[in-house]
Amino acid sequence: MHDELRLVRVSEGWPQELVGYRVDVTEHKQMEDRLAALTRLYAVRSRINAAIGRLRDLQKLYEEVARVAVEEGRFRMVWIGAVDEEAHRVAPVAQAGKVEGYLDGFVVSTLDVPEGRGPTGIAVREGRVQVVNDWEHDSRVALWREGALRRGYRASGAFPLRRNSRVVAVLSLYADTPGFFDDDQVRLLTALSEDLSFALTAMAEEEKRRTDEQAVQTSADRYRAIAKASGQVVWITDAAGRVTEFSSSWQVLTGQTPGEALGRGWQEVLHPDDRKRTEQAWSRAVAEMSPFETEYRLRGRDGVYRDFWAHGVPVMAPEGGIREWVGVCIDITERKQAEAALKESENKYRELVENANSIILRWTPKGEITFLNEFGLKFFGYPEDEIIGRNVVGTIVAERETTGRDLQLLMAKICADPKSFESNINENIRSNGERVWIAWTNKTIVDSQGQLSEIMSIGSDITARLAAEKALSRRNEELAALNALAHRVNAGLSLAEVVAAALDRAFYPASPDLALLYLREDDRLILQGVRPELLALSRDEAQLGMGECLCGLVLKEGKPVYSPDIHADSRCTMTACKEAGMRSFAALPLLSGERVLGVLGLAWAEAQDVEGQAGFLETVVDEIAMGLNNALLYRDLQQHSKELDRRVRERTEQLQAANKELEAFAYSISHDLRAPLRAVSGFAQIIARRHRAALNEEGQHYVDNIVLAGERMGSLIDDLLAYSRLGRQSLKLQPVALGVVLSQAINDLADRVAATGATINLPGDWPVVLGDQTLLQQIFTNLLDNALIYRQPDVAPDLRVTWTIEDGQVILAVADNGIGIASECQEKIFNVFQRLHSDEDYPGTGIGLAIVKKATEMLGGRVWVESAVGQGSTFFVKLPEG
Ligand code: ADP
């Protein structure tokens, strides 16, 4: 028998009551063993709890648990397996006792597979303790039985260990006694495993906190390193915001030493205007523990302020609260400048767009207006809020152009393919309905994805330009027509051509369907022509009286008459035009000054704004009138000149006959006078010769006078006869060598040359002329004779004969140093009997030069003189070259 103490009540794994027993020894022994085992387990639990408090490392704790369980709890073997959730395995991480290679290659699965159906696998899956008290027979351990029995394992308990209610490991205890694990033991070990689970959870949290803290620290360090590497200013402050550290770049930048900058010293270089704002932002960040971000200006070591972006983040302490602040200051001066430049350019752009004198429109590919500049709004007459967001069609674009073009379709085309519409001209419409023509330049605007987002169109109003161009081209056409017309009407001065031109409908605007031309005869208009000719005009209509029908009205009033519709015009009394289907009519006067020369009628089948064409029509008609006037004048002139010619011819014939008669008369008189003169002279000479002595002095004087007068009369008659004979002579022109003629003439005058002591210079050679020997002889004898006679008193004559050839004409000059001839007499000395001197001063008949003139003209030549009084004279004779 043996007394034994026995645990009777266990609460929460701890003994509450012990009861003493006196039992049979065998049983006692067994009881004793159990009690000892329990006692050992208490010790195990207490040691493990101590280890939990002491150890921070999980692995070490596991190892301690295994060791203590074997050492203190006398288990044959203990192992702890950690759950590998990814691999679905439980891998041994700690072991103690008689393992003997049992765990080598040990495979336990957490899944419901054979390797997972052992106590460990089930413990993991179901989260419940698994006890195997009979390893020899328990089917759950079949897979591992042999190895286990061999190593003396007879009973085992698998206890799940949890972290935050999740099974993360299994504590497996092996005893060498079957049935080792009774309820009490299981309860006690369950409590132990719960202690361990609590420890695991606590350790995990501790671990997490540690890693978090480390992460923060690492990131703060990294942040600093990055910032430093970037060359920017990095600063650190304490929790209250006092700077405790600046990177070295601060000094480089500001010139402040660390001593000057720390704490709040750095604010010294902060721009005074930025201090308050920065202070507020900083205080707010510190109070709210939120990141600090602001922009301010810092004074550089050169005294110049630069822009900075400051950004600080709080670094939290593991126990909560801010540990410090880490921040950077980044120089953004250039960015700011770039921003300012961008802003300025944007402003400029905006200004440009707003103030442009062009329409600037932006619209989407759907046709929606997104922007219209100030000028455009005014131009189209919309307030901004009434146009933005609306479609171009229905606002500034009508559905159809006045030309008929479908604008809706055009807009759709532009939207679909704006690139092919870099420029286009189309009609637009203002809010008041007024149509305007605009030349557009279109540019596409693409978004960041390269997709067409908008079309920008710049437009200028070309309505006025188009109108001017149109007017100009009409003007040009009109001028061209006018020019062609002027050519035609002035070309031949022919009345027929003027009438034909006037009836050419191409010259008039809008090409009339009918053209009629009347010319005035007295007080009536006589039709000259109709185009086209098929119009049948009655006899009555081919002649119109004053005021009759529209054309007659023009004759009466001398002003154009326009009728937009002859059917409704009571002034239009004739029927032919109406019957020919004409409607509008223009009757235009062809005027010469005030006088109506004729009337032009133009008619159109379609209604025409005939008065609107008045300006050009009247110009055309003026041109025709001018041509008509010229043609009429020319016609009259031609009639007159014919008449004149006829009269001149008649008179000339009469004159020639009279002249001939006169010449014949002069000749016959001279001829007839010769015989009585010869008788008078002959008898006078006989008296003078034979009876002179019988006469007294007076008688002698008279006789001498009779003889002299007779001689003079004789030479006068000779000269007259010579002159008259010239006209009667029939000429045979042949080449004559002038040298021969001149020497003959000089020879004839030899006495006079000798008497006056004259010198005569002659050229070395002579030309040949086409002439008549006798006439030439007469010409030069007379010229040389005069040159010797009209000499200066007491000066020997000095004659010079020269010649030249000009255009097949020989010009011969006979120059003297004589008394000269006054210019007013130089013409008339060539007339018959024209003398400048008395017979006493210079004897002569006044016929010599008349003979020279007549003879020269008969040879087809000409004679003239150049002279000045007292300077000598030069007579020129021009004759055809022989
Ligand atoms: P005449 O010599 O018989 O009077 P001319 O017909 O030869 O008649 O000449 C007409 C006039 O021309 C002359 O009276 C003279 O006054 C003038 N005359 C002609 N030749 C010369 C000359 N060489 N120098 C000056 N006067 C001249």
Looking at residue 506, its pLDDT comes to 79
- Residue 207: CB atoms within 10 A of its CB come to 13
Please indicate whether residue 830, judged by its CB atom, sits closer than 6 Å to ligand 1: no
674 CB less than 6 Å from ligand 1?
no
Strand 759-761 with 798-806, pairing: parallel
Residue with tokens 């009690």: 35
> How far are the Cα atoms of 170, 175, 200, 760, 841 from residue 196, in angstroms, in the given order?
11, 20, 6, 173, 183
What whole-number distance in Å separates Cα of residue 650 and Cα of residue 370? Answer: 98
In this predicted structure, what is the pLDDT of residue 23? 44
User: Angle, to 10 degrees, between the axis of helix 463-491 and the axis of helix 495-502?
Assistant: 150
Preceding amide of 258 cis, omega within 30: no
Backbone angle region of 396, left / alpha / beta, with phi > 0 → left and psi within -120 to 50 → alpha: alpha
Which residues, given as ranges, of the chain have pLDDT below 50? 1-2, 4, 7, 20-24
Q: Which of 814, 823, 835, 842 to mutate to test the pocket of ligand 1 (most atoms within 8 A of CB)?
A: 835
Predicted pLDDT of residue 421:
87
323 CB contacts (<8 Å, ≥6 apart)? 239, 315, 316, 317
Q: Is 376 in the pocket of ligand 1 (CB under 6 A)?
A: no
pLDDT value, residue 209: 80
3-state secondary structure 679-693: HHHHHHHHHHHHCCC
Q: Helix, strand, coil: what percent of the chain each, to 5?
A: 45, 25, 25
DSSP 729-744: PPP--EEEEHHHHHHH
Looking at residue 229, its pLDDT comes to 67
Name the residue of 788, 790, 854, 877 whose CB sits within 8 Å of the most ligand 1 atoms, as the mutation to test its pocket: 790
Ligand 1 pocket test, pick from 826, 849, 867, 873 with the greatest ligand atom count within 8 Å of Cβ, gives: 849
Can you tell me the distance from the alpha carbon of 437 to that of 466, in angstroms, rounded to the nearest whole number? Answer: 8
Whole-number pLDDT of residue 731: 79
Does residue 852's CB lie within 6 angstroms of at least one atom of ligand 1?
no
pLDDT score at 315: 81
Q: So what's the pLDDT on residue 763?
A: 94
The pLDDT score that the predictor gives to residue 321 is 77
Measured from the CB, is residue 837 less than 6 Å from ligand 1? yes
CA 846 – CA 399 distance, rounded (Å): 106
Nearest alpha-carbon partner for 441 in 427, 425, 428: 425
One-letter identity of residue 766: W
- Size (the chain), residues: 882
Tokens of 454: 């908008």
For residue range 661-692, list pLDDT tens digits in order.
887 888 888 888 888 888 889 999 999 889 98
CA 816 to centroid of ligand 1, rounded, Å: 12
pLDDT of residue 21: 45
